[in-house]
Amino acid sequence: MKICIYGAGAIGGYMGAKLALAGVDVSLVARGPHLAAMRDKGLTLLEHGADPVTVPVTVSDDPASLGHQDFVIVTLKAHSVPGIVPMMQPLLGPNSSVVSGVNGVPWWYFHKIGGPLEGTRLTSVDPGNAQWDGIGPDNVLGCVVYPAAEVSEPGTIRHIEGNRFSLGEPDGSKSDRAVALSNMLKSAGLKAPVRPKLRDEIWVKLWGNLSFNPISVLTDATLEVLCTDPGSRAVARAMMVEAQTIAEKLGVKFPIDVDRRLDGGAAVGAHRTSMLQDLDSGRPMEIDALVGSVKELGLRTNTPTPTLDSVLALVQLRARSAGLYS
């Protein structure tokens, strides 16, 4: 079985290192100094409580050099994916599956969901239908990514916490391909449950991302502060309640309530969210996938989202002012 990880940054690099160490036929698509370091010295993984380990990897910035794959696992930021769909094509054979390990509402969300919104396409996450037409929803396998990791220096991944990658078919079936990938990831020491209702997990993760991330950008606050300060907590809570109303109209069930989710964010401590880290580093932020997509779903379901709309407008302006959003 051949696996290609498209976007071998922190999460993709962590998964790639674990698979390579397990002897899986895995290749990585990367670029810049990180690519050069992996080519020259291999990929180094730093895990808590373990000695650093370096493994040689197949890595390239030219997907055409890697050939057809059984699985292409996409671990890029959501806004980067539509633009790389043409470059991904040489990896896709007649039996290839694309695993969407991307934050936010996925572009395939309404594929095989049933009901009046079946087949709806989301312009906020898939402008011009680039992924729907270039990958095809029948070829996608969903994935919710839980690990935290960072590229501590080019060619080196520091794993912070978590090792679960939940998988799921759009129709909720336990397909042969989902089980095959799950077993492959498990062989590398990762958790990879196949979920019949992956959309529920998508929303629980998104619940925090859609509120904590933009508020942190506007306030420069860590999770601990924004989830305990009465004012910012109230704004986050209102956004989450609006999102929950949308999700429940779409058939999603939340296993915890909003206050427990907020308390969980506070318990993470003095953590700067990924969107705030992107602002700090001058990188484009996942505003459309994490917040704009929820606004779009509110319009699709006739659900008012006044708090979310206000925060979205402010964080878009903040990002434009920094030259990080168009």
Annotated catalytic residues are 205
Query: What is the rounded CA–CA span in Å between residue 140 and residue 108?
Result: 8
Place of tokens 């004012």: 231
Nearest CA to 22 among 47, 55, 71? 55
Contact 77, 286 (CB under 8 A): yes
The first and second tokens of residue 121, run together, are 């396409």
Within 13 A of 244's CA, how many CA atoms are on the CB side? 16
CA separation, residue 45 to residues 40, 99, 163, 164, 247 (Å): 15, 23, 14, 17, 37
Query: What is the rounded CA–CA span in Å between residue 101 and residue 5?
Result: 10
- Taking residue 7's Cβ as centre, other Cβ atoms within 10 Å add up to 22
